[in-house]
Structure 1
């Protein structure tokens, strides 16, 4: 029976054949232990000299790391294995022999591993992170489908920018200027006016010259937008969504979290509702914590976000930010003209902002004024303004950064490990 490592639990005490790669091995005089992987998981194959032909045993002792093989053997339950099963090997054949595989079990520097990202992905740790990323994506679709959202795909090439053009990659679109999208939000607002509740999931690009562990040049965002949803409604959707994906990772990625040594208790306590702190309250709190350099009207950096997060065991919303710090499309606080109805959701454990969201300006005259104040080209935003001319309604939305969220859930330090092929300030290879 040909199967995969992920499916061996169906064939206990039966003989199966698995196509795999040799991740690692060790052997004594009479037994060879083969660490095998096939993309679906990892399993140990045990080759006992007395139970196989001599050429099979010698092959098991001599094959090299990342050689591809077909392995035949009987599936055994093994309580000592994190996976729960092992393979008692009876047959082994080489598909392709790997020679001098560059990533050995010894320690390697980060730059070396990044240069070999196409191979580093094969490691058990990177495999675990990618499986968690996949689960977050799967759970995202499940959540929004269950909640009645419609998936809509905004364009990647755009003629305007939701937050100005200073951090955009410019290109020529025949004889026009175009940009790689930094957000699908404006288009999602149009879609929400047609379909009610929508979400997108796609790549975004920021030409931001940042080298921090939280930043990528190309990353993926989940961006819901909802008609007739006001500010508080928006926060409820966010906390329910984040709680859902955390629980899905706990339910379906236990082995991967174990491989990464993740503290499960910290994730198990993540349940809606989340605490909320206003920007004003955050400023007072930071002053009390000794951050005397931060003044009202300043944006928060990583140390400030971390200090606020450490005061809570769950993600925390920082709400009602100064208008001067936020993009043109955010709805003013009806009680204070100097604030907008927006929130950043800060993840625990120093992972920073994972969601930015707001209620959107729905009044035509106000939005037109904002476009002018931000010196945006009115012709490029004509269609966006028209959304407020023809049946405008209160509406809200947010964007969740996939890679930061996966970094938090996985417990890895840098977002470069949470995307298959990261694009960093000085890295476009591989």
Structure 2
């Protein structure tokens, strides 16, 4: 019976064949222990000299790292293994013998590993991170479908910027100027006016020359937009969404979290509703924590976000930022014109902002005023203005950065490990 590692529990005490790669091996005279992987998981294969042919045993001892094989043997329980099972091998067939595999079990520097990212992905830790990423994606689709959202795909090539403060990747679109999308939000607002509640999931690009552990040049965003939804209602959807994906990972990625040595108890505490503080309160908290030079009207950096998060064991919403440091489309607080109805969700443990969202301006005259203040081209943004001219409604939306969320839930320090092939300031290879 041919199967995969993640299905072996169905074949307890039965003989199966699995296509695998050799991740590592060791031997103790009369027994060889092979660490095997097949893409779905890892399992130990045990070769006992007395139970196989001499040729098979010698083959097991001489196998090289990352050689591909077909192995046949019996699945047995192994309480010592985090996986719970091992394979007592009877036959080994070499498909391809790998030689001089560059990533050995010894320690390697980050740059070396990044240069070999196409191979580093095979390691147990990287495999676990990718599985958690996959589970978050699955949970995202489940949550939004359950909540009545429609999946919509905004364009990646655009003729205008969603946020004027971020540098864009410029390209030629035949005889026009074009940019790689930094956000699908504006087009998602148009989709919300047609379909009510929508969400997108796709790549976005920021030409920021940043080298921090939180930044990528190319990253993936989940961006919901909702018609007839207030700012407060949006916050509830955000916290319920984060709780949903957390519960999904805790349920389905137990082994992966264990491999990453993640403190699961801290993740189990993540329950909605999340605490909320205003920008004004955040300024006061920072001054109390020793940030004496922080001034009202400044945006928060990583140290500020980390300091604020230290006061909570849950993600925390920081709401009502100053209008002048936020995007042109954010709706002003009706009781206070100098702040907008927005929120950033700051993850615990120093992982920073994972969600940014706001109520969107729905008043035509105010949006036209914003166009003037931000020197936005009427031609490039006319279609966006039309959304306020023809049946405008209160609406809100947000964007969750997938890689930062994966980093937080996985407990990984740097976002470069949370995407299969990271694009960094000085890295476009492999």
Same fold (TM over 0.5): yes
Matches within 5 A, 1:83-232: 83-164=83-164, 166-232=166-232
For residues 46 and 362 of structure 2, the distance between their equivalents in structure 1, rounded to whole angstroms, comes to 66
Is 1:305 the counterpart of 2:305? The answer is: yes
What whole-Å deviation, never above 9, does each CA across 1:56-100 have from its counterpart, x for those lacking one?
000000000000000000000111110000000000010000000
Q: Kindly indicate whether the alpha-carbon contact (under 8 Å) linking 1:13 and 1:75 is maintained by their aligned counterparts in 2.
A: yes
For residues 66 and 27 of structure 1, the distance between their equivalents in structure 2, rounded to whole angstroms, comes to 17
What whole-Å deviation, never above 9, does each CA across 1:14-71 have from its counterpart, x for those lacking one?
0000000000000011000000000000000000000000000000000000000000
1:166: Cα distance to partner? 4.6
1:376: Cα distance to partner? 1.1
For residues 212 and 333 of structure 1, the distance between their equivalents in structure 2, rounded to whole angstroms, comes to 32
1:4: Cα distance to partner? 0.1
Superposition TM-score, scaled by structure 1 size? 1.00
In structure 2, the gaps of 5 or more residues are none
For residues 100 and 323 of structure 2, the distance between their equivalents in structure 1, rounded to whole angstroms, comes to 57
Q: Kindly indicate whether the alpha-carbon contact (under 8 Å) linking 2:331 and 2:360 is maintained by their aligned counterparts in 1.
A: yes
1:375: Cα distance to partner? 0.7
What whole-Å deviation, never above 9, does each CA across 1:209-241 have from its counterpart, x for those lacking one?
000000000000000000000110010000000
Partner residue in 1 for 2:46: 46
Q: Kindly indicate whether the alpha-carbon contact (under 8 Å) linking 2:72 and 2:89 is maintained by their aligned counterparts in 1.
A: yes
1:293: Cα distance to partner? 1.1
Is 1:402 the counterpart of 2:402? The answer is: yes
Secondary structure of the residue aligned to 1:387 is helix
Secondary structure of the residue aligned to 1:235 is helix
For residues 167 and 233 of structure 1, the distance between their equivalents in structure 2, rounded to whole angstroms, comes to 31
Q: Kindly indicate whether the alpha-carbon contact (under 8 Å) linking 1:322 and 1:338 is maintained by their aligned counterparts in 2.
A: yes
**Paired residues, number:** 430
For residues 391 and 286 of structure 2, the distance between their equivalents in structure 1, rounded to whole angstroms, comes to 43
Is 1:294 the counterpart of 2:294? The answer is: yes
Superposition TM-score, scaled by structure 2 size? 1.00
What whole-Å deviation, never above 9, does each CA across 1:261-315 have from its counterpart, x for those lacking one?
0000000000100000100000001001100111000111111100110100000
Against the structure 1 CA distance between its residues 165 and 349, is the aligned structure 2 distance closer, same or farther, given a 3 Å change threshold? closer
For residues 66 and 388 of structure 2, the distance between their equivalents in structure 1, rounded to whole angstroms, comes to 58
Q: Kindly indicate whether the alpha-carbon contact (under 8 Å) linking 1:372 and 1:378 is maintained by their aligned counterparts in 2.
A: no
For residues 167 and 59 of structure 2, the distance between their equivalents in structure 1, rounded to whole angstroms, comes to 55
In structure 1, the gaps of 5 or more residues are none
Secondary structure of the residue aligned to 1:241 is helix
1:378: Cα distance to partner? 1.1
Q: Kindly indicate whether the alpha-carbon contact (under 8 Å) linking 2:168 and 2:205 is maintained by their aligned counterparts in 1.
A: yes
Secondary structure of the residue aligned to 1:50 is helix
